[in-house]
Amino acid sequence: MNKISIRIPFVDLKIQHHSIQTQLQQAIQDVLEKGDFILGQALSDFEAAFAAASGTEYGIGVASGTDAIALGLQACNIGPGDEVIIPANTFVATLIGVLHAGAKPVLVDCDPQTALIDLEAAAKAITPHTKAIIPVHLYGQMVSPHELLDFADTHKLLIFEDAAQAHLAEREGYRAGSVGTAAAFSFYPSKNLGAFGDGGMLLTRNLDVAQKMLRLRNYGSSQKYVHIETGTNSRLDTLQAAVLHQKLPYLAEWNSDRLNIAQQYDMELAPLAAAGIIPMQNQSDTGHVYHLYVIKIDDSCPLERQQIQEQLTAAGIQTGIHYPIPCHLQPAFTNLGYQQGDFPQAEKLANQILSLPMYPGLTNSQIKEVVATMAFILSGETQQLLHI
């Protein structure tokens, strides 16, 4: 089988790392010299810096975004007997986090224009056991803070943001991570702010939540060898924090590069609307941080999503699908009792969405090439395309 050479990757992290390589190496060297690998100085420095940048008070670094959700919910006193509302079309980690906290995930549908949680559907899912809602700021766009705060106030629910894809996103004057009681972030390498491995953080302005989270990530320890709750071992490595802290000052610039790329895609793709290629809606103006640039291939398109994706791959253009199977249809979660048809918008989106290459450093000519290749595929001249 011929190996297809990648002309435009889905993500390219080398560009950002090369631009600050000396700084990154120095930060790593500093930790090696100090030797404070666990709960070291660079961790507390980064926790404070990231919390401040996100417009909130306390940051508690953990091993992953999934742990930030699981432990963060427990730090908010959510657990067995509680129901937590989440969107069906999120990454499974949101759901897994709720389960690990011992609570029951209650899934709801999403808005087909933005893929963000549908708050009207959420209102209908509330029961006397509902304790919290997890808005997922999917693809880098925040769920409307005004609507969320109204919703939480009306129904007396706690807001726990899943901001894994939305570092420094803004909407209606709020930053991601500053709207709810607490918020979870992921520093998975390809995230807008990514580590050199796994990592995550809980942000909160609530001191009790912060203190409980500090214990939970460190074997439930209040002081050395005194354990007042079970907890676990889930700490963000000092080395990872040092790397992330070096990257943080560049994040706003990288996010604005992502926004420019998205605007360029929007412009280039406009003529393909007639062929059923529709970008997901940006309802937050310049505050969308475009972790992913997602288009819908709707029913009016002459080709199936799979055909388009395969032909882009054949032309050396990598794409992704976020996510091809909604949470309620994942084999692991059949015991939650959901079935096909329960969340029609999420199910439809799962079949229609396609994520195009997106990363700081993607050039205008590469964007033009992605769109021109799509136009070419749609025009049916696929045989020629394969021989480019």
Ligand X SMILES: Cc1ncc(COP(=O)(O)O)c(C=O)c1O
The residue ranges that bind ligand X (CB under 6 A) are: 64-66, 90-91, 93-94, 136, 162, 164-165, 186, 188, 198, 200
Give yes or no for a contact between 133 and 157, defined as CB atoms under 8 angstroms apart: yes
Nearer to ligand X, 31 or 93 (CB): 93
In b/e form, how buried is each residue of 303-328, taking b as 16+ CB within 10 angstroms?
A: bebeebbebbebbebbbbbbbeebbb
**262 CB-near residues (< 8 Å, 6+ apart):** 279, 282, 288, 290, 293, 358
Nearer to ligand X, 233 or 364 (CB): 233
For the chain, how are helix, strand and coil distributed in percent, rounded to 5?
A: 45, 15, 40
Give yes or no for a contact between 180 and 57, defined as CB atoms under 8 angstroms apart: no
93 token code pair: 């980690």
Q: How far is the CB of 338 from ligand X (least distance, A)?
A: 19
Nearer to ligand X, 183 or 269 (CB): 183
Nearer to ligand X, 165 or 238 (CB): 165
Nearer to ligand X, 145 or 199 (CB): 199
Q: How far is the CB of 267 from ligand X (least distance, A)?
A: 27
- Of all residues in the shown chain, the one whose CB is closest to ligand X is 65
Instruction: Report the C-alpha gap between 53 and 261 in whole angstroms.
Output: 23
Q: Which helix (H) or strand (E) holds 114?
A: none
Nearer to ligand X, 116 or 378 (CB): 116
Give the residue among 195, 130, 204, 196 at the shortest CA–CA distance from 163: 204
DSSP lists the bridge partners of residue 356 as 293
Give yes or no for a contact between 321 and 355, defined as CB atoms under 8 angstroms apart: yes
Instruction: Report the C-alpha gap between 137 and 161 in whole angstroms.
Output: 7
Q: How far is the CB of 318 from ligand X (least distance, A)?
A: 18
Q: How far is the CB of 167 from ligand X (least distance, A)?
A: 11
Q: How far is the CB of 193 from ligand X (least distance, A)?
A: 11
Nearer to ligand X, 245 or 378 (CB): 245
Q: How far is the CB of 186 from ligand X (least distance, A)?
A: 3
Q: How far is the CB of 233 from ligand X (least distance, A)?
A: 15
Tell how far CA 138 is from the center of its chain.
6
